[in-house]
Amino acid sequence: MEEWPEGAVAAPIVKIVKLSFRDVNRYHLVQKTDFPHILAPPCSKNCVRINEHRSEHFALRVTYPHSSWPIRAVDRIASWSNKPLTSGLVAGFCERVSGFTYYNAHVMADPTEGALVYLYSRLKTVPTEPRTVKLNCEFEVSTYRLPVQRIFLLQDVFVCTPISVPQKQLRHKQSFSYESIHKMIRIGFVGAGKIAQALAKGFIAAGLTKGEKIVASDPFPQTIKNFEMLGAQISSDNRLVVEQSDVVFLAIKPETVPAVLCNIRPHICKRHLLLSTAMGVSIQDIEKALPPATRVIRVMPNTPVLVRNGASVFVCGSATQYEDEIITRRLLEAIGTCDKVPELLMDTITALSGSGPAYVYIIIEALADGAVKMGLPRDLAYRLAAQTVVGAGSMVLATKAHPAQLKDDVTSPAGSTAEGLHFLEQHGLRTALIGAIEAATLKCRQISKETKEHISNSCSTKQQLCIKSQDQADNFSAGKRVRN
């Protein structure tokens, strides 16, 4: 039996009868992701069907395929216990509240064998208020035997132990918190520009990592200084970032992507998860330029991730594991919303939420300019305009009402709003915004096409390019500024 990692706690036999999301934070959590072995998909023959449209409990007894199946925790804390589990209980709860479906489930190891409790949870939307999730004894009477398949529903696995466990039951005194898992993931940024900085600051603000756990590269000394100020390790050599991180954000402009991929390619290995923010560069094109089976996820965040209010989406590559999706979700959900989308929507999403903050800033600026023209102090005008945008956006999300309905609610008969709206319609605000999304989408498509050609060409002349990139990288390392 291997040693437990430093800081881990031995989970005692706990029978959870009630768990709230607030409680989750009170548990010591060890994330575990190696769980394709456990559960059948919810709609398979032998499995409880989970009805998405009403709240219900479900319960399953599972039998693991091999008595030697080890309990393994993720990645860098792999094999912290290899005690075999042969059976366990899965209990879950699917809840439909205010239009959202919440999934939660537990796997309890057989107490005689492992005495570990796993908590799986998947929330379509993270509730703003802690929710009580009842997990009760019902599940103990279930006797399903399931084929061994992948879990679809469940997002995360934690080994839990209540904080109230007497110290003497703990093998190690320190707790091993959920946050500390992410602190173990070394995050790297290739390209240290605007979106890289916003992401890094967001992750730090969310407590997912610390500045010193980040490593970033950029040829531009002024830009990279911003990372230095976060306490990050900085370099002008992209290869160093790759070597020193597990999750690598590719935060460079599309035209730079082919040469950079060529440069980092020899340093990419199995442990890496590559998250590309590059607009218009398809997963297929990125994968083509990297070693086979490189795990690539394409993401489209926006700058409000800086204040943990971003709108991000992601697309999984052909070699990604479910665990990679979990990590991506955990990272992006900590700094805003996060949706998995089909890749064909990426160009339009780039135009909408990727570029969108820029449009909204112009709107805020213009609203404030109007107010200043009419006599308001400028700082008050900006504050009111910004808060109005925040409030209106929150109304759309919270009420799910049609924006037109919410607009009508503001517009009193013969009032001032109607006058303002009339003016906007006369001057084509709607048309302008629709046109902006269309124009930006088309630009993304064009860049996508160009990058595809560029990558195809660079793949055919890969060796030459690699030599060139190597030279460039060496020049960066030598402190010279080189542009592609």
Ligand X SMILES: NC(=O)C1=CN([C@@H]2O[C@H](COP(=O)(O)OP(=O)(O)OC[C@H]3O[C@@H](n4cnc5c(N)ncnc54)[C@H](OP(=O)(O)O)[C@@H]3O)[C@@H](O)[C@H]2O)C=CC1
Residues at the contact surface with ligand X, assessed by CB under 6 A: 190-196, 217-220, 223, 238, 251-254, 256, 260, 277-279, 300-303, 354, 484
Would you say 26 or 462 has its CB closer to ligand X?
462
**Residue of the chain from 306, 310, 354, 382 that contacts ligand A1CAB (CB under 6 A):** 354
CB 9 within 8 A of CB 73: no
- Tell me the chain's radius of gyration from C-alpha atoms: 25
Sequence-ordered list of residues with C-beta below 8 angstroms from that of 130, at least 6 positions apart, any chain: 20, 21, 22
Least separation in angstroms between residue 193's CB and ligand X is: 2
Would you say 103 or 314 has its CB closer to ligand A1CAB?
314
Binds 381: which of ligand X, ligand A1CAB, none (CB < 5-8 Å by kind): none
String of contacts with ligand A1CAB for each residue 308-347, x by CB under 6 A: ----------------------------------------
Least separation in angstroms between residue 454's CB and ligand A1CAB is: 16
Binds 301: which of ligand X, ligand A1CAB, none (CB < 5-8 Å by kind): ligand X
Would you say 104 or 451 has its CB closer to ligand X?
451
Which residues is 117 bridged to in the sheet? 108
Q: In this chain, which residue has its C-beta nearest to ligand A1CAB?
A: 354
Least separation in angstroms between residue 359's CB and ligand A1CAB is: 11
Name the residue type at position 65. Answer: P
Residue for token digits 């517009």?
411
Binds 180: which of ligand X, ligand A1CAB, none (CB < 5-8 Å by kind): none
CB 411 within 8 A of CB 420: no
Sequence-ordered list of residues with C-beta below 8 angstroms from that of 209, at least 6 positions apart, any chain: 182, 183, 185, 187, 203
Report the C-alpha gap between 22 and 129 in whole angstroms.
Answer: 9
Would you say 149 or 484 has its CB closer to ligand X?
484
Name the residue type at position 334. Answer: A
Any contact of residue 355 with ligand A1CAB (CB under 6 A)? yes
DSSP assigned state of 221:
H
Would you say 328 or 350 has its CB closer to ligand A1CAB?
350
**Beta-strand relationship, 310-316 and 336-340:** parallel
Among the listed residues 108, 133, 137, the one whose alpha carbon sits nearest the alpha carbon of residue 122: 133
Among the listed residues 130, 64, 118, 69, the one whose alpha carbon sits nearest the alpha carbon of residue 91: 118
Would you say 92 or 310 has its CB closer to ligand A1CAB?
310
Would you say 38 or 466 has its CB closer to ligand X?
466
Instruction: State the CB neighbour count (10 A cutoff) for residue 7.
Output: 15
String of contacts with ligand A1CAB for each residue 246-285, x by CB under 6 A: ---------------------------------x------
Name the residue type at position 329. Answer: R
Which residues is 84 bridged to in the sheet? 70
Residues near ligand A1CAB (CB under 6 A), total: 4
Report the C-alpha gap between 303 and 324 in whole angstroms.
Answer: 23
Q: Taking CB under 6 A as the criterion, which residues in 409-438 touch ligand A1CAB? A: none
End-to-end distance of the chain based on CA atoms, in angstroms?
A: 52
Least separation in angstroms between residue 141's CB and ligand X is: 50
Would you say 121 or 256 has its CB closer to ligand A1CAB?
256
**Residue of the chain from 31, 33, 101, 350 that contacts ligand A1CAB (CB under 6 A):** 350
Least separation in angstroms between residue 224's CB and ligand X is: 8
Least separation in angstroms between residue 306's CB and ligand A1CAB is: 13
Report the C-alpha gap between 190 and 405 in whole angstroms.
Answer: 44
- Please report the beta strands in 152-226, taking only residues with DSSP state E, as ranges in sequence order: 156-162, 187-190, 214-217
Q: Which stretch, 109-117, 223-231, 349-357, 398-406, contacts ligand A1CAB (CB under 6 A)? A: 349-357
Report the C-alpha gap between 322 and 297 in whole angstroms.
Answer: 12
| Length of the chain, in residues | 484
Binds 364: which of ligand A1CAB, ligand X, none (CB < 5-8 Å by kind): none
Least separation in angstroms between residue 12's CB and ligand X is: 45
Sequence-ordered list of residues with C-beta below 8 angstroms from that of 15, at least 6 positions apart, any chain: none
Interface ranges with ligand A1CAB (CB under 6 A): 279, 350, 354-355
